[in-house]
Amino acid sequence: LTNSLEAAWSKLRKEDVLTRENIKEPMQDVRRALLEADVSLPVVRRFVKSVSEKAVGTGVIRGVRPDQQLIKVVNDELVSLMGGEMVGLEFSKTKGTPTVILMAGLQGVGKTTACGKLALYCKKKSKSCMMVATDVYRPAAIDQLVTLGKQVDVPVFEAGNQIRPAEIAKRGLAEAKKKGVEVVIVDTAGRLQVDRGMMDELKQIKQVVNATEVLLVVDAMTGQEAAKLVASFNLEVGITGAILTKLDGDSRGGAALSVKEVSGKPIKFVGEGEGMNALEPFYPNRMASRILGMGDVLTFVEKAEEVMLKEDAEEMQRRILEAKFDFNDFLKQSRNLARMGSMGGLVKLIPGMNKVTPQQIREAEKSLKITESMINSMTPKERADPELLAKSPSRRRRVALGSGRTQEQVSALVSQIFQMRVRMKNLATMMQGGSIPGLEGLDDPLNG
Ligand code: GDP
Ligand code: MG
């Protein structure tokens, strides 16, 4: 935040409720910050509107300053606009069919460099990899990829520049299949501007290789133009995600905000240098602070979250002791976990849990998502009273249908909540120094 505007924020400190009036000046400040970060104007407008609507009328939480609370709303909205959580690469689910990653983007944005980086990334994940050179226009493009291939020790398939790109890609994929390569990364030719030839070429390649991922490479310096660019690539070719490059420069990275907003697709990686190691997964929360240009925002936000979590935790503990823990609590708890950072980070903090593999964490996150989908298909009454589902097979069937899960999965979840009640109550009682109570009334009605 700029110094001159600190006054606007400090005025807010004395208020108890956020109103349209008292957030006006601070929101102007946010608007300016976003424009300075090169977020495109329509995106800024929509953002400011939606944040204002969310903020107005929120009572300020005990122990949190009103200005901090507003920043938190802004930050959360930014994070959610960028997809909320980190999204990794999608891999092919069919055995014997390699994952194919197709790079798209204008000339000079860093596609070829990103190919090399991704190849190294996949190699580190113990996946065999191959790159395919289809940029037949720029004289040195093939050599550039071959050189990068040598650097990261990944083979490069090339067929000169006399064959159509789609045909090269097809041959490259055939070669990869023959060799049993797991990941094929296809480099393509960019143009200085969006044009028909490039889009048609990309479409053809995408189709021929049946791409698992089509990653749009966007230069972070693109600024205001990013929204249009993303829209046209997504419309013409269909992208599955993006890589934001050159974040090691001065750009505040406002382009990041446009990608998800415009295409609905996540940024998956960021490039932070020319070296092959300079590739990082994209974390929306880190990007949000960068875009706002407020280094200390995070401490604010963390503080606010701490207070909210503490209040939630106290309420939760009360419900646990009364064995009232229901599906709403379940949801709230898993969201709190998500709020506290990715499970990966959290798990490391738990003693004895540091041997958990990334694979296990992914499984856990996946099963949490499945659970959430089932809870989302429950009525409010059912969420508050798990007995309803325990007693009624037809309710369980409806939830299964609604969430696209099996009835067995729903039954398992219902059993689980009763088991959790027992276990949590025992744990809570033990921690309070009491003895373990009898379990009457807490049995699992489905299995008891
Ligand atoms: P392409 O035309 O899209 O294939 O772009 P290139 O991969 O050839 O990259 C163009 C230039 O940008 C090269 O000089 C790269 O070294 C540089 N470059 C690519 N990614 C990054 C990055 O993340 N940071 C910086 N500073 N430079 C990058
Ligand atoms: Mg290139």
pLDDT grade, residue 180 (50/70/90)?
very high
Mean pLDDT of 193-214: 95
Ligand 2 centroid–CA 275 distance in Å is 15
- 297-315 residue pLDDT tens: 555 556 556 666 666 667 7
- 46-92 residue pLDDT tens: 999 999 998 887 766 666 777 877 888 888 899 998 998 889 999 99
Task: Decide if domain 322-431 falls under CATH 1.10.260.30.
Answer: yes
Give me the pLDDT at residue 382, please.
94
Among 147-161, 397-411, 417-431, which stretch is predicted with the lowest mean pLDDT? Answer: 417-431
- 204-253 residue pLDDT tens: 999 999 999 999 999 998 888 899 999 999 999 999 999 999 998 888 88
Residue 440 in this model has a pLDDT that exceeds 70: no
Instruction: Give residues (CB < 6 A) around ligand 1.
Output: 105, 107-113, 190, 245-246, 248, 271-274, 278
Q: Which CATH architecture has domain 3-85?
A: Up-down Bundle (1.20)
Give the ipTM.
Answer: 0.99
Please state, in angstroms and rounded to a whole number, the distance separating the CA atoms of residues 247 and 224: 16
Mean pLDDT of 151-171: 96
Q: Where in the chain is the domain with CATH 3.40.50.300?
A: 99-282
Label the pairing between strands 129-133 and 241-245.
unpaired
Q: Give the distance, in angstroms, between the CA of residue 26 and the centroid of all CA atoms in the same chain.
A: 28
* 76 CB-side CA count, 13 A: 19
Q: Where in the chain is the domain with CATH 1.10.260.30?
A: 322-431
- Tell me which residues have their CB within 5 A of the ion that is ligand 2: 111-112
Which atom of ligand 1 approaches the CA of 187 most closely? 4
Q: Give the distance, in angstroms, between the CA of residue 438 and the centroid of all CA atoms in the same chain.
A: 44
Ligand 1 centroid–CA 74 distance in Å is 32
pTM: 0.69
Which is more confidently placed, 309 or 34? 34
Residue with tokens 């089932």: 374
Residue 150 in this model has a pLDDT that exceeds 90: yes
Which is more confidently placed, 324 or 8? 324
Give me the pLDDT at residue 2, please.
47
Question: Contacts by 366-373 with C-beta closer than 8 Å and gap 24+?
Answer: 368/334, 368/337, 368/343, 370/405, 370/409, 371/330, 371/334, 371/413, 372/331, 372/334, 373/403, 373/404, 373/405
Task: Decide if domain 99-282 falls under CATH 3.40.50.11060.
Answer: no
Nearest-CA residue for ligand 1 atom 19 is 110
Ligand 1 centroid–CA 110 distance in Å is 4
